[in-house]
Amino acid sequence: MKAYIFSLAPVTQQNHENEMQFPYNIRFLMSFWNLLNFRNSGSQSVAAQADLARGAYLADALGHCAECHSPRNLTMGVDSSKYLGGGAVDGWTAFNLSSSKSSGLGGWTTDELAQYLKTGNVPGKAQAAGPMAEVVENSTSHLSDEDLHALATFIKAVPGQASDGPDRFSFAGHPTDITDYRADAGRHAGEGEQLFIAACATCHMLSGSGVKDGAYPSLFHNSVTGAANADNLVMAVLHGVERRGSINDASMPAFEDEFDDNQVASLVNYVKDTFGNPQGKVNAEDVHRLRVNLVAPSPVDSLMKVGGGIAAAVAIIIAFAAFLWFRRARTGRPRSHYNALRIPFPGWPSAGEGGARAAVRAIGGHRAAKVHARPLPQNKARN
Ligand code: HEC
Ligand code: HEC
């Protein structure tokens, strides 16, 4: 790796500005997070078994699979007790990869998993879109067959983590039969079905079966339509699929500019009802949330904002107090700063312009030039 990196031509590149929001832009705060969440133990426990060690290294040290595919704890660290039990990223669900038969990859063979990582498509199981399309395109499709096998072997060995709902690959669908459809000319299709026929059926077929080689995949026995929530289906409809590969490219158009939130919701609910898991229906608000990528803020996010605000306020107060103390020590004249602050000081003779002058005289008058000509606010209680 060193030899390769040192062979690259030098590039002059200005560093990017730190774009993190306050208080995340305060670097030393990371040390507290590391203390809570960072375990430098790598994959030692699994490394004991030599054949799995390589897969563990590829998954954890290089692939960071768990960063997306595990849930996070309160402080947004990977919850290691639910390793690969399913997570969320940018509006997408990163499915449970554990060996649970009902909610994970328990029903996949090692070869199917290796094929998914190589090509992004296992007909009758799953296709890689969104962030996973990037993982396949830029990373796993470039692995050697041995590395793919090692990675798949390791993932298959991860103990089962049960999560939501039934097996997402099991839904066989009950699509309208095309001959019935043609025979029943007076049939009235609902909005979801009409949209499906107009926008999806050309590739995925009216029956949802896709095409034989899986280039246009089947919508039943499909992890996205079989999932307990409709998030990835909504995301695939809004953003399409774009994945380049050494063996095959995959491209499905994005419909975010064609359909409004209501239309996407009717279409998605029709697809779930007809081909997949009818659970997890969506409405227009759900679609809107995914369209603008409104991720629910974590409780820690709010805490950090409040805590960060308080810390900043305390820091400002301390800095100001230090400044006053310094000035006082320098001039040796106490209380002169009240002039500039325009605070009606309780011991002052009276409010109003005369009052201010008198007050200045009372405390030494040494900064008369700085006293404002405008009267101080009337003190109603006194007048
Ligand atoms: C940047 C986040 C991210 C990373 C990193 C990531 N994945 Fe994924 N993965 C996803 C998302 C999102 C999906 C769902 C894709 C879809 O629905 O089309 C997914 C889907 C999958 C699936 C299909 C599961 C199913 O039931 O449909 C497999 C298998 C998978 N990932 C394996 C891996 C492995 C192995 C790694 C590490 C080498 C990895 N992923 C790294 C986000 C990620
Ligand atoms: C031009 C052809 C085409 C059209 C039209 C089309 N798709 Fe696709 N669809 C694809 C291709 C290609 C893939 C990805 C195949 C792959 O990954 O290898 C795909 C993938 C999918 C997936 C799996 C996505 C994932 O994240 O795993 C779903 C679900 C899907 N399409 C639903 C739809 C729906 C619903 C419509 C109508 C709004 C639609 N498609 C329209 C070609 C199309």
Interval 214-262: pLDDT, tens: 899 999 999 999 999 999 999 999 999 999 987 789 999 999 999 999 9
The values of phi and psi at residue 379, to 5°, are -95, 95
Report the chain's mean pLDDT, rounded to a whole number: 82
- Is residue 149 situated within a structural domain? no
Judge whether 143 lies within some domain: no
**Spatial separation of the C-alpha atoms in residues 91 and 73, rounded to whole Å:** 18
Quick: pLDDT tens for 204-218.
Answer: 999 999 998 889 999
CB-ligand 2 contact for 271 (6 Å cutoff) = yes
Interior CA angle at 92 toward 90 and 95, to 5°? 130
Q: Is the CB of 226 under 6 A from ligand 1?
A: no
Beta carbon of 234 within 6 Å of any ligand 2 atom: no
Task: Say yes or no to pLDDT of 353 above 60.
Answer: no
pLDDT given at position 378? 54
Interhelix angle for 110-119 vs 130-138, to 10°? 90
Q: 92: Cβ below 6 Å to ligand 1?
A: yes
Range ranked top by mean pLDDT from 27-41, 129-143, 358-372: 129-143
Q: What percent of the chain has pLDDT over 70?
A: 76
DSSP secondary structure code for residue 84 in this structure: T
Q: Choose one of 241, 256, 264 to mutate for the ligand 2 pocket test, by most ligand atoms within 8 angstroms of C-beta.
A: 241
- Partners of 251 in beta bridges: 242
Task: Tell me if 200 is assigned to some domain.
Answer: no
Distance CA 353, CA 150 (A): 84
pLDDT of residue 25: 84
Residue 67 falls inside a structural domain: no
Global pTM? 0.75
The arithmetic mean of pLDDT across residues 366-371, rounded, is: 45
Ligand 2 lined by 203 (C-beta under 6 Å): yes
Cβ proximity of 77 and 69 under 8 Å: no
Distance CA(216)–CA(252), nearest Å, equals: 9
Cα three-residue angle 207-274-85, rounded to 5 degrees: 115
- Assess whether the C-beta atom of 266 lies below 6 angstroms from ligand 2: no
Q: Work out how many domains the chain is built from and give that number.
A: 1
Using a pLDDT cut of 90, give the percent of the chain over it: 50
How far, in Å, from the CA of 24 to the mean position of ligand 2?
37
Residue reference for tokens 């399913």: 86
Cα 223 to ligand 1 centre (Å): 11
Helices (H) and strands (E) in the chain, counts: 18, 6
Residue nearest to atom 2 of ligand 2 (CA): 203
Is there a domain that residue 312 lies in?
A: no
DSSP one-letter string for 39-82: -TTTTHHHHTSHHHHHHHIIIIIIS-HHHHHS-B-TTS-B-GGG
Longest dimension (CA), the chain: 102
**Residue 118, amino acid:** K
Note down the domain range covering 357. 333-383
Q: Is residue 150 part of a domain?
A: no
Residue 34 lies inside a defined structural domain of this protein: no
In a domain, 367, yes or no: yes
| 38-80: pLDDT as tens digits | 766 555 555 446 678 899 999 999 999 999 999 999 888 999 8
Whether the per-residue pLDDT at 348 is higher than 70: the answer is no
Task: Measure 204 CA to ligand 2 centroid, in angstroms.
Answer: 7
